[in-house]
Amino acid sequence: MSAAPTLTMYLEGVGLLGPGLTSWSQGAPLLARPEVYASAPLAVPAPDCLPPAERRRVGTQIKLALAVGREAAAHARRDPATLANVFSASAGDGDNCNAICETLASADRLISPTRFHNSVHNAPAGYWGIAMKCMAPSTSLCAHDGSFAAGLLEAAVQAHAGAGAALLICADAPYPEPLHSVRPLSHAFGAALVLAAQPGPQTLARLELSLSTEAPDRLADTALEALRRGNPAARALPLLQALATRTPGTVQLQYLDGCTLAATLAPV
């Protein structure tokens, strides 16, 4: 049987935000030494990159996306206005979705234009364009619990297809009840990566992607594994831990049913 086709990328920057993980610079040492990691309430920073009117309209998921995207671009020393971007999320703005459902179930079924505007899946990409003055190509997608792997693969393809480099932003936040009972996410989480088609001075690691039928990797630490399982965006954690520990090898990222995305990391 022939080997699975691979796609080679170069990782330049990382953004991270989750319970007990306030940034990549703060979180990487904790991922490298999980015995010192402790979960803590997540404070999502206000999106000061947006004008005041837009700032008031955004929810947790969009705030997460903007925060990790900005961190990853800064880490890579890339101008975010020039980066092709891929936004991946399994849920979108859960609070806004819940509010729309409540309105539709009420006697007064008029939905505000702002709520409708924020209900579309590419709303984070729109706010990113406003905040960063970014006119580069943008893709928004969803693949349920495999959304991080789907976004990673799409960002790699976009970089190789002509963009040269692409920014992946993956963020999800819990729904309120009663939707939470149907689609339970235990916490909010966001991760972002800058991927380039060619190595450069900011390269952190070479990354080879291929499809696999192996089981998704789990994390040995109980608290970090609960974090990984509790949010689709946190399925990035096995890859981020390998990067934090500078451990070469292959991690299996959850993707579609019966399929994983094998990411072979070689730190530089």
| pLDDT score of 171 more than 60 | yes
- pLDDT at position 132 over 80: yes
The pLDDT of residue 77 is above 60 = yes
pLDDT beyond 80 at 138: yes
Q: What is the pLDDT of residue 122?
A: 95
At residue 180, the 3 state secondary structure works out as: helix
Select the more confidently predicted residue: 109 or 217.
217
Whether the link from the prior residue into 41 is cis, omega within 30° of 0, is: no
**Tens of pLDDT along 3-56?**
678 999 999 999 999 999 999 999 999 999 999 999 999 999 999 999 998 998
Q: Specify the pLDDT at position 1.
A: 43
CA 158 to CA 84: how far, in whole Å?
A: 8
Residue extents of the structural domains in the chain: 12-203+219-245
Average pLDDT, the chain: 95
**Is 12-203+219-245 in CATH node 3.40.47.10?**
yes
Given a cut of 60, is residue 2 above it in pLDDT?
no
Residue position matching structure tokens 């990067």 = 243
Q: Which of 66-80, 112-126, 139-153, 159-173 has the lowest mean pLDDT?
A: 112-126
Asked if the model's pLDDT at residue 117 lies above 90, the reply is no
Query: What pLDDT, on a 0 to 100 scale, did the predictor assign at position 3?
Result: 65
pTM for the whole structure: 0.95
Q: How far apart are CA 147 and CA 155, in angstroms?
A: 12
Mean per-residue pLDDT for 228-240?
98
- Four-residue CA torsion sign, 223, 228, 231, 233: positive
